[in-house]
C-alpha cells in the first residue's frame, strides 16, 4: 500500500487572468498581490504543482535527521532514510490531522502524535497507537495509515526539491539549463556546498511574488533602495550597474538569474575583505572546473529565483524561500550557504556577513521590506488595485546569437526575467494540468555536463 498523496483534482481556472497580467504589453495589475481568489488558485496551481525547494542535503546527514518546512501552506517533514534517500512527509497525522512534529530540525526515531498516540517511524509508517488493542479489534490496517508522502523528491547539487504533483516534469526538465548557472554557486569547488547555522525566520506583510520577482531579475532597485546600506557597509554607493561592460538576464520556465561578471560586486557589500580575498583565491580553480565565464559569477552583482519561491544571492551567499501565508503575507526562511571546502574562519565570516546585511535586522533586508510591504498594501484599494503597473524594460534585448544556455537577454538592468516569471505564473494559473502549460523557451536547452 502506497502512502503517496492522492492527486489533487484541480479546480477550474479563474477567468480574466490575462487582464491582470499582460506580458507582451509590459504591464501587470496590482490586484495579483492582494486578491484572495487568485491566492487560492496559486496554492493549487503553482505550489501544489511545481518543484519546491525543501532543504539542503547537509542539513540531514544521518538516518532520522529531519527539518520541517512548508510547501506552499502545506507543512512537511524532510527526513533522511536508512537507505540514504530522503522522504518528504506531510506533517499531519492521518487520524485527526494534528501536526506531529513541532520543531524546526532535529534527529529522531520517528514522530508520535500528541492527540491519540499514533506513532510513525522515520519512513512515515504507522507502527502503533496508544490502546492498540481496540484498533486490532476493529481489524484496522496499519499499513494504510502512515504519514502521507509527496509525489516526488529529487535533488540537484545538494539542493533538495519536492513536488506534490505526480504528473510534473522531472526536476532535471523543470530546472532545464538553469543548472549551468546554478553550478557557479553550488558546484564551484570540489565537495560542493553546505548550509551553516540554522534557519533564520521572519515575516513580511507582502505578497510572495513581489519578493520572488525582486530576486528573479531586479537589480535596478539596488542602486536606489540600498544606497544608504551600501554606504554603511562599503563606505560608498553600490556598483553602478549600467557601467558594466557585460551583464545578462537569463531565464527558463519562469526561473531567472541576472548577473554581471565582476566576480566580487555582491560579496563586497558584506564589508569583509577576507571574503573578497577568498573568492579571488578560488577563482582560478573555478575557471578550471567551470570555465572562465562562470568563474566571473561566483560573487558578482547578481540574483536568482528558481520558480516559484526559491531565491539566492551569490556572494552574500544568502539562500531563501518566500513562503506564502495569504495574499499579503510571507514567512521568510533563510540560510547561509558556503563551500564545504572553505576554511572555518571563512564560513564564520560569511554567516556573520549575511546576518549583518540579509537577516531580519540586516541593513539591506530592511530596505526591501518596507518597499515590498507597500507594493502589496496599496493594492488593498479597489481602484488602486486596477492600476496598470509597468514591467516593460528591455523589450528588445533577446540575444539570438549567443553560446550561453537558456533564454538570454542583454543586460541585467532589464525586466525580461520579471516578465518571464509572471508569464510562467499566468501560464500555470491558466492550465488545468502540466500538459496544458505552454513551452515558452526559445534558447539553448543543452548544457555541457
Partner 1 sequence: MEKVYLCKATDLEANQVKKIENNTFGDIAVYNLGGQFYATADLCTHATASLAEGDIEDDMIVCPVHWGMFHIPSGEAQGFPCETDLQTYPVEVVGDEVFAVIEVDENIIAKA
**155 forms bridges with which residues in the sheet?**
160
CA distances from 256 to 150, 175, 245, 383 (A): 26, 10, 20, 31
138 beta partners: none
CB of 105 to partner 1, least distance (A): 19
Q: 79 or 239: whose CB is closer to partner 1?
A: 79
Q: Are 230 and 239 in contact (CB under 8 A)?
A: no
Q: How far is the CB of 110 from partner 1 (least distance, A)?
A: 8
* Residue closer to partner 1 (CB basis): 100 or 304: 100
Q: How far is the CB of 103 from partner 1 (least distance, A)?
A: 15
Burial of 205 from C-beta contacts in 10 A (0-12 / 13-18 / 19+): middle
Cβ proximity to partner 1: between 128 and 381 the closer is 128
Q: Which residues contact 91 (CB under 8 A, 6 or more apart)?
A: 68, 75, 76, 77, 99, 100, 101, 147
Given 165, 183, 368, 427, the catalytic residue: 368
Are 31 and 386 within 8 A, CB to CB?
Answer: yes
In the complex, minimum distance from the CB of residue 230 to partner 1, in angstroms, rounded to a whole number: 52
**Would you call 255 a catalytic residue per the annotation?**
no
Nearer to partner 1, 130 or 221 (CB): 130
CB of 81 to partner 1, least distance (A): 16
Active-site hit among 218, 262, 367, 427: 218
Would you say the C-alpha torsion 133, 134, 137, 140 has a positive or negative sign?
negative
> How far from each other are the two terminal CA atoms of the chain, in whole angstroms?
38
CB of 119 to partner 1, least distance (A): 5
Binding residues vs partner 1 (CB under 8 A): 109, 112, 117, 119, 121, 127-133, 136
Closer residue to partner 1 (CB): 131 or 400: 131
Cβ distance to partner 1 smaller for residue 130 or 442: 130
d(C-alpha 446, C-alpha 449), whole Å: 9
Quick one: 101 or 375, whose CB is closer to partner 1?
101
Point out the catalytic residue in the list 116, 141, 167, 345: 116
How far is Cα 256 from Cα 237, in angstroms, rounded to an integer?
A: 25
CB hemisphere CA count around 432 (13 angstroms): 6
Beta strands in 169-246 (DSSP E): 193-204
Cis peptide before 308 (omega within 30 of 0): yes
User: Active site residue: 141, 221, 345, 388, which one?
Assistant: 221
Separation CA 433–CA 163 (nearest Å): 14
Min dist. Cβ of residue 133 to partner 1 (A): 7
116 tagged catalytic = yes
> From CA 411, how far away is CA 243, in angstroms rounded?
11
Between CA 118 and CA 136 the distance in angstroms is 14
Is 226 a residue of the active site? yes
Query: Is 9 tagged catalytic?
Result: no
Q: What is the DSSP-derived secondary structure letter of residue 276?
A: H
Q: Catalytic residue numbers?
A: 116, 218, 221, 226, 368
Amino acid at each position: 500500500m502506497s502512502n503517496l498523496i492522492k492527486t489533487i483534482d484541480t479546480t477550474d481556472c479563474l477567468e480574466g487572468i490575462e487582464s491582470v497580467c499582460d506580458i507582451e504589453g509590459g504591464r501587470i495589475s496590482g490586484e495579483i498581490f492582494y486578491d484572495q481568489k487568485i491566492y487560492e488558485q496559486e496554492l493549487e496551481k503553482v505550489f501544489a504543482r511545481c518543484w519546491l525547494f525543501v532543504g539542503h542535503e547537509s542539513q540531514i546527514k544521518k538516518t532520522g535527521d529531519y527539518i520541517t518546512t512548508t510547501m506552499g501552506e502545506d507543512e512537511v517533514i524532510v527526513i533522511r532514510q536508512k537507505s540514504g534517500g530522503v522522504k518528504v512527509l506531510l506533517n499531519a497525522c492521518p487520524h485527526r490531522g494534528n501536526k506531529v512534529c513541532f520543531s524546526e530540525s532535529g534527529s529522531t526515531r520517528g514522530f508520535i502524535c500528541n492527540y491519540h498516540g499514533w506513532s510513525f517511524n522515520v519512513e512515515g509508517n504507522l507502527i502503533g497507537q496508544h490502546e492498540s488493542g481496540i484498533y486490532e479489534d476493529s481489524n484496522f490496517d496499519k499499513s494504510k495509515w502512515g504519514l502521507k508522502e509527496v509525489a516526488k523528491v529529487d535533488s540537484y547539487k545538494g539542493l533538495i526539491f519536492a513536488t506534490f504533483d505526480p504528473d510534473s516534469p522531472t526536476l532535471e526538465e523543470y530546472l532545464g539549463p538553469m543548472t549551468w548557472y546554478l553550478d557557479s554557486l553550488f558546484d564551484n569547488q570540489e565537495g560542493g556546498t553546505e548550509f551553516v547555522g540554522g534557519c533564520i525566520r521572519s515575516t513580511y506583510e507582502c505578497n510572495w511574488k513581489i519578493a520572488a520577482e525582486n530576486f528573479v531579475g531586479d537589480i535596478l532597485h539596488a542602486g536606489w533602495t540600498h544606497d544608504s546600506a551600501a554606504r554603511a557597509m562599503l563606505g560608498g554607493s553600490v556598483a553602478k550597474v549600467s557601467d558594466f561592460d557585460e551583464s545578462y538576464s537569463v531565464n527558463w520556465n519562469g526561473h531567472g538569474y541576472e548577473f554581471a561578471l565582476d566576480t566580487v560586486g555582491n560579496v563586497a557589500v558584506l564589508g569583509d575583505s577576507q571574503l573578497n580575498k577568498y573568492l579571488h583565491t578560488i577563482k582560478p580553480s573555478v575557471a578550471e572546473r567551470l570555465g572562465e565565464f562562470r568563474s566571473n559569477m561566483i560573487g558578482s552583482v547578481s540574483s536568482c529565483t528558481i520558480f516559484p519561491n526559491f531565491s539566492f544571492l551569490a556572494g552574500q551567499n544568502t539562500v531563501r524561500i518566500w513562503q506564502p501565508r495569504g495574499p499579503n503575507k510571507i514567512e521568510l526562511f533563510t540560510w547561509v550557504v558556503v563551500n564545504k571546502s572553505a576554511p572555518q574562519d571563512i564560513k564564520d565570516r560569511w554567516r556573520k556577513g549575511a546576518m549583518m546585511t540579509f537577516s531580519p535586522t540586516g541593513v539591506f533586508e530592511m530596505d526591501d521590506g518596507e518597499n515590498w510591504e507597500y507594493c502589496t498594501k496599496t493594492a488593498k484599494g479597489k481602484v488602486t488595485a486596477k492600476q496598470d503597473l509597468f514591467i516593460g524594460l528591455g523589450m528588445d534585448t533577446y540575444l539570438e546569437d549567443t553560446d550561453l544556455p537558456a533564454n538570454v537577454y542583454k543586460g541585467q538592468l532589464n525586466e525580461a526575467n520579471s516578465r518571464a516569471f509572471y508569464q510562467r505564473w499566468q501560464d500555470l494559473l491558466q492550465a488545468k494540468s502540466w500538459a496544458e502549460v505552454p513551452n515558452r523557451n526559445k534558447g539553448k536547452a543543452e548544457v555541457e555536463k
